[in-house]
Structure 1
């Protein structure tokens, strides 16, 4: 296994508009759910009802994700403010 151990430092993680990305994805999941909702009968007849519930679950998990990344972003900003006040 030592042969496969990387010999270089890992790069720094990329930071971007995380809150906006997760919020946008959550909106897309809920929009897909709402678009498919009028076709509930068709999905039920063709055993594709899981498509509808997958979109709803994606939206629900996205709400948890939005909560998480907003708190993470606030904690990062608090830490940066604290570090700049100390220096």
Structure 2
């Protein structure tokens, strides 16, 4: 039976390419950027809500995104050493 080159790594693990090393990412910058975007969206939606141009649901979504972003920044602060050690 002839194996396709695309299926060869599935049948024979020895022909697999080595996995690339993970890149080190500064999670604080990533979480801060996303949280800032949610805060900006929250401000825009609040203004639109004050002008009666949108409903309450977008406001709830923006508040949830902001709260999750703050929680992720808190998590990053307490686990910074762990994930930086693993990224080396």
TM-score, shorter chain, exceeding 0.5:
yes
User: TM-score when scaled to structure 2?
Assistant: 0.64
User: TM-score when scaled to structure 1?
Assistant: 0.64
| Equivalence for 2:33 | 24
Point out where structure 1 has 5 or more consecutive residues left out of the alignment.
81-87
Is residue 38 from structure 1 mapped to residue 38 from structure 2 by the alignment? no
Pair member with larger Rg:
2
In structure 1, what is the Cα distance between the partners aligned to 2:57 and 2:17? 44
Point out where structure 2 has 5 or more consecutive residues left out of the alignment.
1-6
1:76 CA drift (Å): 4.7
